[in-house]
């Protein structure tokens, strides 16, 4: 089972991945302000949280990974290039087992240097690497537009076209997409070569995220004052 949850302030999606038969679950990219919501949902569904998966060190919200670890004993996962507070660093191809659900890490740097996507049968959780009809920016946190292009076209776009894309954010009311849709319809990537993509990304001139100065250091400590 996959359940999609939303934080209105940061437009962040958190995902619950659950093996209902085994009574265990993982959360992808939980938000600190939504800890009580997420904990209540786990309790209502009779689920034990065993894993918290981070797609990258976020700049627009503070993670709930540390708080959930304290409350539930869940193991925290992410890239070893990201937050030093995580329990387990995942390399490309590593698998996190949640009951009978195998969650495979895909290294997708570019938005940040520590980007990971998570593949389950039939779906991929792409963080900020691939959004519905868009993609993450690549102008801070060691981002690299060329690397982002390679991650999307060389890793994500090689998945089956029917694979559901669950993005880390949406700002226009979309909830999900598919790999096939994004290959055909994503205006930043469809029919655009690497050089043209890099040129496009260099012209975006986006303002910094509102929480950049506070969120990044907080998230390097898993959203708590203790790095664990």
Q: What is the pLDDT of residues 183-207, one digit of tens each?
A: 999 999 999 999 999 999 999 988 8
d(CA 166, CA 169): 9
Scan for tokens 């559901």, then name that residue.
164
Q: Is the model's pLDDT at 33 over the cut of 70?
A: yes
Question: Which residues are registered as beta bridge partners of 61?
Answer: none
Identify the pLDDT of residue 225.
Answer: 55
- Considering the domain delimited by 2-206, tell me its CATH architecture: 4-Layer Sandwich (3.60)
Residues 155-188 have pLDDT tens digits of: 999 999 999 999 999 999 999 999 999 999 999 9
Token reading at 226: 């203790």
Identify the pLDDT of residue 193.
Answer: 97
- The domain locations on the chain are 2-206
If 0-12 CB within 10 Å is exposed, 13-18 middle and 19+ buried, where does residue 7 land? buried
Interval 69-74 mean pLDDT = 97
Which of 140, 147, 163 minimizes the C-alpha distance to 198? Answer: 147
d(CA 102, CA 118): 10
Catalogue the active-site residues.
Answer: 56, 58, 60-61, 111, 128, 169
């Amino acid at each position: 089972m996959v359940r999609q949850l939303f934080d209105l302030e940061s437009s962040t999606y958190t995902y619950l991945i659950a093996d209902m038969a085994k009574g265990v679950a993982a959360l992808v990219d939980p938000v600190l302000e939504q800890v009580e919501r997420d904990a209540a949902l786990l309790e209502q569904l009779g689920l034990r949280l065993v894993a918290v998966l981070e797609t990258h060190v976020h700049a627009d919200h503070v993670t709930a990974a540390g708080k959930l670890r304290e409350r539930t004993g869940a193991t925290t996962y992410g890239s070893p290039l990201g937050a030093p507070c995580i329990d387990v660093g995942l390399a490309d191809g590593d698998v996190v087992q949640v009951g009978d659900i195998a969650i495979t890490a895909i290294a997708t740097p570019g938005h940040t240097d520590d980007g990971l996507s998570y593949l389950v049968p039939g779906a991929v959780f792409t963080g900020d690497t691939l959004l519905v009809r868009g993609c993450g920016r690549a102008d801070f946190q060691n981002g690299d537009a060329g690397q982002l292009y390679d991650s999307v076209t060389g890793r994500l776009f090689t998945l089956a076209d029917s694979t559901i894309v669950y993005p880390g954010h949406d700002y226009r009311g979309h909830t999900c997409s598919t790999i096939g849709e994004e290959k055909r319809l994503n205006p930043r990537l469809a029919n655009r070569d690497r050089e043209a993509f890099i040129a496009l990304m260099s012209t975006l001139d986006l303002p910094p995220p509102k929480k950049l100065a506070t969120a990044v250091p907080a998230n390097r400590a898993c959203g708590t004052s203790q790095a664990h």
